[in-house]
């Protein structure tokens, strides 16, 4: 059974710092992996999708990598801003098509 | 990206009543939609997979008679919480997969409070 773990659970950084969020999964047989942000009381906003055949994806200040062999993905945020404050979730897609999520990393970027 | 609309965004109801939540894919067709439930400070837990034109597939431990799912068209799935109880109070989120890349898009969520 696929399990997804995200470390750290919470992170507080000053504005401008580069940071890395970690996601690990137990079953390397994933079809793809998505990173999302969730603002309080809101749904999920898709940030990046990495197909199983890819190693990384980039969008603006965000870069996500995927290493299936080690069961890990990282989300790199460059030059963090207060507007980046949110909970970041990673989800691995299994054969059933649904995503299995970690508990998320709550990020706070201080001005 | 693709847009998934969920309605209502919040609802308060009395214990024993039923509540319907709608999930619509606005600019794409979705043969499959997923319903998740999220408790405070917890991750999203898959409740069921909604399949257009057929019965939903429920995860272990989810009561299908309590959480009725109907996927009558390629753009609409509904979740009805029947005979709601306070323990059903939660944040319910739907998602749909846009064809091609397989990327999942999520609705804004529905906050249910049962008094």
**A50 in contact with B, Cβ within 8 Å:** no
Biggest distance spanned by C-alpha atoms of chain A: 42
Q: B91 to chain A, minimum CA–CA distance in Å?
A: 8
Work out the angle at residue B28's Cα, subtended by the Cα atoms of residues B34 and B69, and round it to the nearest 5 degrees: 30
**B11 in contact with A, Cβ within 8 Å:** no
pLDDT at res. A1: 78
- Burial of A109: CB neighbours in 10 Å, binned 0-12, 13-18, 19+: buried
pLDDT at res. A31: 85
Q: Mean pLDDT across the stretch A41-63?
A: 93
Q: B74 to chain A, minimum CA–CA distance in Å?
A: 17
> For residue B20, is pLDDT > 90?
yes
Strand partners, B81: B19, B67
Output B11 or A52, whichever has higher pLDDT.
B11
Strand partners, A110: A14
pLDDT at res. B42: 84
pLDDT in tens, B33-86: 999 999 887 889 999 999 888 889 999 999 999 999 999 889 999 999 999 999
C-alpha–C-alpha distance, residues A29 and A21, integer Å: 21
CB within 8 Å: A34 and B34: no
Substitution target from A43, A45, A54 for chain B, most B beta carbons within 10 A: A43
> Phi and psi (nearest 5°) for A84?
-80, -10
What's A58-92 look like in SS3?
A: EECCEEEEEECCCCEEEEEECCCCHHHCEEEEEEE
Nearest by CB: B103 against A34, A41, A96: A34
Mean residue pLDDT across chain A? 93
pLDDT at res. B5: 94
Quick one: pLDDT band at residue A63, thresholds 50, 70, 90? very high
pLDDT at res. A29: 82
Q: Mean pLDDT across the stretch A85-99?
A: 89
pLDDT in tens, B86-108: 999 999 999 998 767 778 899 99
pLDDT at res. B40: 83
C-alpha–C-alpha distance, residues B85 and B115, integer Å: 8
């Amino acid at each position: 059974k696929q399990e997804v773990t995200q470390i750290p659970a919470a992170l507080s950084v000053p504005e401008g710092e580069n940071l890395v969020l970690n996601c690990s999964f137990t079953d390397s047989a994933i079809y793809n992996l998505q990173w999302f942000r969730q603002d309080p009381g809101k749904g999920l906003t898709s940030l990046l999708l990495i197909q199983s055949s890819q190693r990384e994806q980039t969008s603006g200040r965000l870069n996500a990598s995927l290493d299936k062999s080690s069961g890990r993905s990282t989300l790199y945020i460059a030059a963090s801003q207060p507007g980046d404050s949110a909970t970041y979730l990673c989800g691995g897609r299994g054969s059933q098509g649904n995503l299995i999520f970690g508990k998320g990393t709550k990020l706070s970027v201080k001005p | 990206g693709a847009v998934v609309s969920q309605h209502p965004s919040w609802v308060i109801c009395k214990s024993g009543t039923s509540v319907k939540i709608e999930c619509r894919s606005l600019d794409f067709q979705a043969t499959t939609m997923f319903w998740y439930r999220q408790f405070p400070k917890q991750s999203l837990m898959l409740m069921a997979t909604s399949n257009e034109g057929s019965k939903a597939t429920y995860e272990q431990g989810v009561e299908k008679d309590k959480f009725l799912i109907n996927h009558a068209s390629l753009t609409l799935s509904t979740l009805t919480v029947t005979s709601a109880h306070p323990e059903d109070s939660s944040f319910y989120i739907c998602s749909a997969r846009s064809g091609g890349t397989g990327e999942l898009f999520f609705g804004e969520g529905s906050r249910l409070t049962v008094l």
